[in-house]
Chain A
């Protein structure tokens, strides 16, 4: 086990395009780090550079205390789980799992012991002598995990390992992966495009966009204090609503309401306001909260999920368009959901609410939980909007979040709306449910560019 450090790591292709730009990331020993971002953001490339499958154009990569830039994959002592598992089809499960040990010239009886131990952990004992072709998708996935486990490597690298599973299995395996990682406490770098996986699995999550690291922090901090509009829109589901607004004379003018401008903000003029769906409420059920603002809006679509209601209300003249959001919409398929239609915002309401489609409803939002972004740079204007002030070097350029030991975040407990913090029971944790789709139902992700030329 070892820490992995990326220092200014850059991947530049022959044609000059940069897939990963000066990435700085320190992954602690035993940490579960998630690289997340839309397809083509460079997360897979970054992972493959750590694995040694992709050359590092610039910068320095260390695993443990060794600089591994020029080491071939086999000398890096890392294990990788591929998106398509890459099991050796001509070998049995046993041979697949023992292959690395055999190459390392481990004595056969020790190989057998380790393989059987891993098979027991992964519930594969009955299938050891079968070939991959005769296994189900979930079993293949477990064999791929087993192949990594038996080696007891410095680090696990996982490239969207769950994206080929169906929705139910994916949730199940997510728990499994989380449990395994915790029991083995092997440093793990896990690439995914699925923010639900990112939020539930990671000790820390690194959000990437266009090859640039946006923010690295615990899921909780990412959710509460996104460093810019991209992270804000990417993390959380349904996604945060964005409105163009102006601040003047201490008043924040939203398209549908006016609120007192948040304190500690000297700027006047245009801002982008982000409001998470759960920070809305039916005015009747609104908590008695200073800073709450009540407004009226026409409700276009109501989706009742049983435990909550999603109400899409329309507003005029405050649509936000930015490259970041356009990219998000394209990638996540949000463009197909009602909320993406220009001028619609989604509010998560109490299941008791009786809002009706086509009627005006009295809604409420929590003025204390607004996220404000600079319309030009997309940077969060209130880095302290969470309960923890992160160094706000929020530009669109590389953001290097300070390295924090996982689990030592000091938020006050008991806030149910926020995403899970680490240390909760794995598997029971759930991030805000993704609207309209099971976490696993998303289509298999488009492969990252540069991966399959």
Chain B
């Protein structure tokens, strides 16, 4: 009973801003400031205007950019991280502690402090306002996250399984891909979700390191929305874009949540 009440309270607390956002996105420009929770005149205009003009619309191009960048960053990060994490979990090599400590240190670095230097560097290197220009810093911050997550999962997998595979005739690569990775799948998906969300939600890098729609992601693009006139704020549009930009994340999490099943390794060992 107490639990239920607690859960309701937390969900309520968390959902209020989301519901408020949805409410805002459905209001007309005239009523957007009416301080009413339930919109008086329902309209979808805020959504439709976002896509007016097709490819040159305010949201379509950034949305594609966001999806592309997030997926590329996630793929690279998870691939690299699974190799790294495997090595860290399984092998003894000099500098192992250093790698882990370094990764943690980088993850704790405030992004805002590197964005300035990056801006200058990217301009010089020609990475400014390009996909790689965003993907690289995302990897920097997402890799430690993914490595830490995956190391924890790899450590859970009994080493005997891999040895059994070796004795069964598997090459190290086969043992990794056919035994370890399938078993670490929950970890891989967890890491993927974390990295994807990080890349998807980023505003600091996206706003600083891009200058045009050719590489601007949704969070950055939203900052450049314009109102209907000089004197109206694009509140409704921003709210609508914010709602839309949440949807892919929700879908992504829902899909992979099914894969994050605890206890996949149950039965490997005596149990």
- The answer to whether B158 has its CB under 8 Å from any CB of chain A is yes
- The verdict on A85 contacting chain B, using a C-beta distance below 8 Å, is yes
Could you mark each residue 143-165 of chain B with 1 if its beta carbon is under 8 Å from any beta carbon of chain A, else 0? 00000000000000011110111
Q: How far is the CA of A1 from the CA of B264 in the complex (A)?
A: 36
Q: Does A90 contact B (CB under 8 A)?
A: yes
Of all chain B residues, the one with the shortest Cβ separation from A77 is B169
The answer to whether residues A80 and B167 also contact, given A90-B182, A90-B183 and a CB cut-off of 8 A, is: yes
Known: A74-B170, A86-B158. A140 touches B163 (CB 8 A): no
Q: B222-271: which residues lie under 8 A (CB-CB) from chain A? A: 264-271
**Chain A CB within 8 A of B174 CB:** yes
B103 to chain A, nearest CB (A): 23
- How many A-B residue pairs have C-beta atoms within 8 angstroms? Tell me: 85
Of chain A, the residue at the smallest CB distance from B171 is A74
Is the C-beta of B168 less than 8 angstroms from some C-beta in chain A? yes
What's the Cα separation between A147 and B164 when bound, in Å?
10
Beta-carbon contact of A84 and B167 below 8 Å: no
Q: 1/0 per residue A135-166: CB within 8 Å of B?
A: 10100100000010001000000000000100
Task: Confirm or deny: A126 has a beta carbon within 8 angstroms of a beta carbon on chain B.
Answer: no
Once the chains are docked, how many angstroms separate the CA of A40 from the CA of B183? 31
Find out whether the CB atom of B265 lies under 8 angstroms from the CB atom of A147. Answer: no
Q: Check if B166 sits within 8 Å of A137, measured CB to CB.
A: no
B267 touches A103 (CB 8 A): no
Whether B269 and A86, one on each chain, are in contact in the complex, defined by CB atoms closer than 8 angstroms, is yes
With A89-B264, A164-B270 already in contact, the answer to whether A103 and B160 are too (CB < 8 A) is no
* Chain B positions 126 through 142: 1 when the CB is less than 8 Å from some CB of chain A, otherwise 0: 00000000000000000
| Minimum Cβ distance to chain A for residue B35 (Å) | 55
| Contact A103 B270, CB 8 Å, known A86-B160, A89-B264, A89-B265 | no
Q: In whole Å, how far is B183's beta carbon from the nearest beta carbon of chain A? A: 6
The residue from A53, A72, A74, A89 contacting B168, defined by CB atoms under 8 A apart: A74
Judge if B50 is at the interface, Cβ distance under 8 Å: no
**Which B-chain residue is minimally distant from A159 (CB atoms)?**
B160
Residue of B nearest to A53 (CB): B163
Q: Report B-chain residues with C-beta under 8 Å of the C-beta of A80.
A: 163-164, 167
Interfacial residues of chain A within 241-286, with CB under 8 A of chain B in the complex = none
Closest to A163 in B: B270
| B179 interface hit (Cβ, 8 Å) | yes
Which of B161, B164, B265 is the most central at the interface, judged by chain A CB atoms within 10 Å of its CB? B164
Cα–Cα, bound, A132→B267 (Å): 5
Q: Quick check: B268 and A88 within 8 Å, CB to CB?
A: yes
CA distance A194 to B161 in the complex (A): 25
Are the CB atoms of B167 and A73 closer together than 8 Å?
yes
Interface assignment of A134: CB less than 8 Å from any CB of chain B: yes
The yes or no answer to A131 lying at the interface (CB within 8 A) is yes
A87 close to B268 (CB less than 8 A): yes
Asked if A111 lies at the interface with its beta carbon under 8 angstroms from chain B, I say no
Q: How far in angstroms is the closest Cβ of chain A from B178? A: 8
A131: which B residues are within 8 A, CB to CB? 267
* Contacts A86-B160, A88-B179 given; does A140 touch B270 at CB 8 Å: yes
Q: How long is the Cα–Cα vector from A53 to B168 in the complex, in angstroms? A: 12
Which one of B158, B170, B266 contacts A103 once the chains associate, using CB atoms below 8 Å? B170
**Residues of the A chain whose Cβ atoms lie less than 8 Å from the Cβ of B161:** 86, 88-89
Contact A103 B164 (CB under 8 A): no
- A82 near B270 (CB under 8 angstroms)? no
The chain B residue sitting closest to A72, CB to CB, is: B166
- Residues of B near A133 (CB, < 8 A) are 266-267, 271
In the complex, which residues of chain A have a beta carbon less than 8 angstroms from the beta carbon of B158? 84, 86
**Residues in B neighbouring A147, C-beta threshold 8 A:** 164, 168
Q: Identify 11 new A-B residue pairs, CB closer than 8 A, beyond the known A80-B163, A86-B164.
A: A73-B166, A73-B167, A80-B167, A83-B160, A89-B267, A89-B268, A99-B168, A103-B174, A132-B267, A164-B270, A452-B159
Q: Which 6 pairs, one residue from A and one from B, show the smallest C-beta to C-beta distance?
A: A133-B267, A100-B168, A132-B267, A84-B269, A86-B160, A86-B164
